[in-house]
Structure 1
Amino acid sequence: MRNNRAMAMPPHRIAVLALDGVVGLDLGTPSQVFGTARDADGVRRYAVEVCTAGRRPVRSTAGYQVLPEHGLELLETADTVVVPGIHEGPAMTDGTIDPEVRAALRGAYERGARIMSICTGAFVLAAAGLLDGRRATTHWAYADRFRRLHPSVELDPDVLFIDGGRVLTSAGVAAGIDLCLHVIRTDHGSEVANRAARRCVVPPWREGGQAQYIERPVPKATDTSTAAAREWARQRLHEPVSLRDMAERSRMSVRTFTRRFRSETGLSPAQWLLQQRTDHARLLLETTDLSIDQVARRSGFGTTAALRQQLHQRLGVPPSTYRRTFRHP
């Protein structure tokens, strides 16, 4: 009966809109990630197709042409529209797009479709007027240009992705994978999303609010890295871990360790440790039947109240609500 119900549910239709100068990796990400999303019976949950304006070939930044099987009419019936990043064209230079493309995107949104962008695909959504007054993100390297072209958009270039309900945007390159997995998780729960992540050989979860890997100096000498201390701390999230303990593992003074740690991770040791504990708690809530109190202890928060406070601060929901959301589609 379970298999019959799954077979009776049609797959969610995704249209990937490719424009001239499309980024090759961004173009392939939706097909790869959504294409691996299957339920426990192996039934595909998404059908992904690519389209261009007029079914015309478009050039990719990877040195090949894309020969689509569909035109913009695909946007008229899609449940979700994804716009991959681009590296050239009027959307990047003067903030405009072809009126035909603009009308198709706005028509899809007004019809009720979910709209997503990967990387600089946010320039296209902004040119279509779909990001006005909204919070959005794009690749950090293009943030200044984006702000000049679209001052009415609340740009946050420091995060991996932003879920604005029916309009979602992601940062560059691998952040598009994070956004696709987030959508699968939202649509079908953690089991399906984690299965898709395993097939793609990527981490099943990186929080959208996690910082982009913005250009920072990288320490050259591996023996002065804080990586070993971070791994040591990860294995002991259920125990008290002090800054002095971590510094001693790296044979550094607390001051030197703190400076190097922030240089390598973009976070203070305390912020990083709190993030690791929170992520571990979320994983336990999603994948185990441990009580909330047990999850709090095993992730190092100690008490249910402390875990509840942290989850509410980061996600706006208590542990029990989070578990219900991501354990049951």
Structure 2
Amino acid sequence: MHRVGYLITEGFQVMSLATQTVFEFANLVAGEEVYRIQNYSIGGGTVRSSLGMHIDTLPLGAPGLADSWMVTGTLTPLTPPSDDVLKSVRGFVDGARRTAGLCTGTFVLAQAGVLEGRRATTHWAYAKALQRMHPRITVEDDRIFIVDGPVWTSAGMTAALDMALAMVEKDLGAELARSIAHKLVMHQRRSGGQSQHSELLSLAPKSDRIQSALDYARKHLNRPLSVEELADVVHLSPRQFTRVFTAETGQSPAKAVESLRLEAARLMIEQSRHSLDTVARETGFRDRRHMREVFMRGFGVPPQAVRRDARRVM
């Protein structure tokens, strides 16, 4: 049996505890208690969340209480945790099989010195602050989760579910993890190498008309997608369309379409076994070489490196 301990501090973010459902369903699917989950705090007793709900915890005693430690995040990660919290984290890391920072829980690991010389991620809104405060950590602000030896860190909110599922896959295999994802109605199982950001969300058009053009583009990436074609979809002249599109998104139509192609290609590379030639063709790049050029410009690495990283993480 694998013991999972959650270190909970005052003002913890409730979403951190959603990951417990992944371990709960692992037990259900396995038909036995593979994981035993306990909530801990420094002194034990009732701990209040940022939402105002309360949860009972056990006192954090000697190291060895858990095989995996999950350190929850708060909405105020820049406020240093207490010395008792940091001392406890340092104490249980060496004796645990793995230690994870959930969302802004990464800050607790960082301030305890656990992440020195390691790669890590956290919620995108706080990634720059994490890097600034801890320059000896390699902060990758565009990753769902990162595994660096026995230390795991996740991006914000729902990304922690993906990380927990990856833990179950590592422990119990891919088939059981897929079954859990299906039961939890998780639309897809995201690998750690995936981006925290959605290109459609980042473009954030102000009108339904431009949103419709983007939706059309996303569904027809294997086409050339000229300005004339997109403008015709939303019944505007090419000149009008380009002007309105740029004003609403801050990008030209051509640049936005390239970004959508890049995002779609990366997802295919991470989640499928299609050849790079097939990925390039399906996402509308001229050829594999063109796709590589865009990857180097957008990510700083070639498509092969993205595929290697996704396989290594999972």
TM-score class, shorter: 0.7 to 0.9
Equivalent-residue separation in structure 2 for 1:20 and 1:113 (angstroms): 25
Check if 1:113 corresponds to 2:97: yes
Deviations along 1:135-154, one digit per CA (max 9) or x if unpaired, are: 22222333454345433323
How far apart are 1:230 and its partner, in Å? 5.4
Partner of residue 209, structure 2: 223
How far apart are 1:294 and its partner, in Å? 11
Using the size of structure 1 for normalisation, the TM-score is 0.70
Q: Is the CA contact (8 Å cut-off) linking 1:147 and 1:155 kept in structure 2?
A: yes
Check if 1:314 corresponds to 2:306: yes
Equivalent of 1:58, from 44, 47, 71?
47
Partner of residue 296, structure 2: none
1:196 is paired with a residue whose SS is helix
Equivalent of 2:5, from 4, 15, 18?
15
2:3 is paired with a residue whose SS is strand
Equivalent-residue separation in structure 2 for 1:311 and 1:164 (angstroms): 22
Matches of residues 140-155 of structure 1 in structure 2 within 5 Å?
140-155=124-139
Matches of residues 153-302 of structure 1 in structure 2 within 5 Å?
153-208=137-192, 209-212=194-197, 218-225=204-211, 228=212, 231-232=215-216, 239-240=222-223, 242=225, 249-250=233-234, 253=238, 255=242, 268-280=256-268, 282-285=270-273
Check if 1:80 corresponds to 2:68: yes
Partner of residue 19, structure 2: 30
Q: CA RMSD in A?
A: 4.1
Mean alpha-carbon deviation: is it higher for 104-113 or for 41-50?
A: 41-50
Q: Is the CA contact (8 Å cut-off) linking 1:261 and 1:269 kept in structure 2?
A: no
- Identity of matched residues, %: 28
Q: Is the CA contact (8 Å cut-off) linking 2:39 and 2:56 kept in structure 1?
A: no
Equivalent of 1:71, from 51, 54, 59?
59
1:32 is paired with a residue whose SS is helix
How far apart are 1:213 and its partner, in Å? 6.3
Q: Is the CA contact (8 Å cut-off) linking 1:171 and 1:212 kept in structure 2?
A: no
Equivalent of 2:119, from 121, 135, 140?
135
Which consecutive residues of structure 1, in runs of 5 or more, have no partner in the other structure? 1-9, 286-290
How far apart are 1:186 and its partner, in Å? 3.6
Equivalent-residue separation in structure 1 for 2:187 and 2:117 (angstroms): 32
How far apart are 1:76 and its partner, in Å? 1.3
Using the size of structure 2 for normalisation, the TM-score is 0.73
Q: Is the CA contact (8 Å cut-off) linking 1:137 and 1:157 kept in structure 2?
A: yes
Equivalent-residue separation in structure 2 for 1:162 and 1:145 (angstroms): 18
Letter in 2 for 1:59: R
Q: Is the CA contact (8 Å cut-off) linking 1:137 and 1:170 kept in structure 2?
A: yes
Q: Is the CA contact (8 Å cut-off) linking 2:4 and 2:66 kept in structure 1?
A: yes
Which consecutive residues of structure 2, in runs of 5 or more, have no partner in the other structure? 293-301
Letter in 1 for 2:140: D
Q: Is the CA contact (8 Å cut-off) linking 1:97 and 1:128 kept in structure 2?
A: no
